[in-house]
Amino acid sequence: MTLKVMLVFGARPQVIKSAAVIHEALKCPEMRLQVVHTGQHYDFQMSRIFLEQLNLPNPVANLEVGSGTHSWQTGEIMIRLEEVMVNAKPNLVIVPGDTNSTLAGALTAAKSHIPLAHLEAGARSYDMTMPEEINRRLTDHCSNLLFAPTTNCVKNLHKENVTGAIHLTGDTMYDSFLMHLPKAEENTILEELGVESDSYAVLTIHRAENVDNSERLANILEAMTTLEELTIIFPAHPRTRRQLQLTGLEERLRISRNVRLMEPIGYFEMLKLMACAKLVFTDSGGMQKEAFWLGVPCLTLREHTEWIETVQKKANILVGASKDKIVSSARTILEDKEAKKRLRQLSNPFGDGKASVKVVQNILRNVS
């Protein structure tokens, strides 16, 4: 019997987390994989380009949900996804990460009595003001198979007494990172931007706690313009760009000496930019890990992180939205000539790059 598996995603990080698993599943004759895109990231640059770069199959359905409040978006995905699941009758649904698409896919599968697997299970920031924390907690407690990327994630799941089967697989995002790093290294984004290695930093901001709070957003950007000794490359998420325009901050950035505001870029371009950067400023969970794997210092623009492993290894500093803390931490890193060399010698708690193989093997063993 061929195992019918449906993988549901809707945002850029989920595409990256899923890529290696999709490629592994497509090699498996006992498994037929269908991908469903919820349309949570409806902007081409934020989603479609990643499908193309990572050589992924076209989704069998695009729910085209688009933007909305968290509750509306989650509910609308569930309504549209239920029909797809009923028609496809999968033996298993896989959801990666912690977006609204993750939770909507998990709840729809659970309520349709379809077994559920969660990629990146057990990640915890213990900050319930974050919608992502709510999404991943609820998803873990709906899941039959929980694929944990680190031993810390396994401990979190045991502590919460989840009912599903916990498997320590490593991080599927790390698999994708290793798989696509050679192409990223060949990318010409630095030449196109006219910047040299170690002469700039990368900035990304997209989380509601920063983007929707005009004071926090202004503090972060004031810190960036204060760091005049450093060029800041800022590919802006569409939602972030709208807030910059609404608050008048975009104009201030345009006249700044060192911040270069630009459109969103592809996966290979971002990896190349990060790899050659002096440091990374971000509120993204995925980019914290990518910076760690690349051996680039990371300043996280949040008070808490689900990837505490990177903080414990002193590769990542939580600076929140404090201008003074951002500036002082960045300048400390800039003065440390051995920072990147030291980070590249750290052990990796995110597995051996074969998480996707372990995920597919576990599915074949445990789902009928």
- Residues 310 and 230 grouped into a single domain: yes
Q: Are residues 140 and 187 in the same domain?
A: no
Residue 251 lies in a domain: yes
Q: Mean per-residue pLDDT for 7-14?
A: 92
Q: Please identify which of the residues 23, 167, 180, 206 carries the catalytic annotation.
A: 206
Residue 44: predicted pLDDT: 46
Residue 322 placed within a domain: yes
Number of domains present in the structure of the chain: 2
Distance, in Å, from the CA atom of 26 to the CA atom of 14, rounded to the nearest integer, reads: 18
Among the ranges given (58-62, 158-162, 222-226), the one the predictor scored with the smallest mean pLDDT: 58-62
Phi, psi of 205 (to 5 degrees): -140, 125
Q: Give 92-105 pLDDT, tens digit per residue.
A: 999 999 999 999 99
195 lies in the same domain as 159: no
Active site residue 206: yes
d(C-alpha 50, C-alpha 180), whole Å = 12
3-state secondary structure of 61: strand
Tokens standing for 255? 């006249």
- Indicate the DSSP class of residue 56: P
**156 and 20 within one domain:** yes
- Amino acid letter, residue 365: R
Nearest to 237 by CA among 284, 277, 187, 280: 284
Q: Are 40 and 73 in contact (CB under 8 A)?
A: yes
Whether residues 313 and 237 share a domain: the answer is: yes
pLDDT for residue 110: 98
27 in the same domain as 150:
yes
pLDDT digits (tens, 9 = 90+) for 245-301: 999 999 989 899 999 999 999 999 999 999 999 999 999 999 999 999 999 999 999
The phi, psi pair for 19, rounded to 5°, reads -55, -50
Q: What integer is the mean pLDDT of 151-158?
A: 98
Q: Is residue 132 pLDDT above 70, yes or no? A: yes
Range of the domain at 90: 3-171+351-366
Let me know if residue 176 belongs to a domain: no
Predicted local confidence at residue 12, as pLDDT = 85
* Same domain for 362 and 312: no
136: pLDDT confidence band, cut at 50, 70 and 90?
very high
Do 130 and 224 fall into the same domain? no
Whether residue 286 is found in the same domain as residue 226: yes
Mean pLDDT, the chain, as a whole number?
A: 95
- Domain-embedded: residue 207: yes
CA trace torsion 292, 55, 143, 157 (10° rounding): -10
Tokens describing residue 286: 């995925």
| 131 and 154 co-located in one domain | yes
Does residue 177 lie within any of the structural domains?
no
DSSP 183: H
Order of strands across the sheet with 31-37?
A: 61-62, 31-37, 3-9, 92-96, 116-119, 145-148, 165-168
Q: Does the pLDDT of residue 33 top 90, yes or no? A: yes
What pLDDT shows up at residue 237? 87
Tokens of 320: 């929140």
Q: What is d(CA 103, CA 272) in angstroms, rounded to the nearest whole number?
A: 31
Asked if residue 24 belongs to a domain, the reply is yes
* Nearest Cα to Cα of residue 118 among 266, 9, 259: 9
Over range 79-88, report the average pLDDT.
97
Domain at 324, CATH number: 3.40.50.2000
Is residue 178 included in any domain, yes or no?
no
Q: For the whole model, what pTM was predicted? A: 0.95
Q: Using an 8 Å Cβ cutoff, are 269 and 290 in contact?
A: no
pLDDT of residue 47: 62
Q: Is residue 130 situated within a structural domain?
A: yes
- Do both 245 and 125 map to the same domain? no
**Whole-number pLDDT of residue 41:** 65
Residues 259 and 292 in one domain: yes
pLDDT computed for residue 49 by the predictor: 76
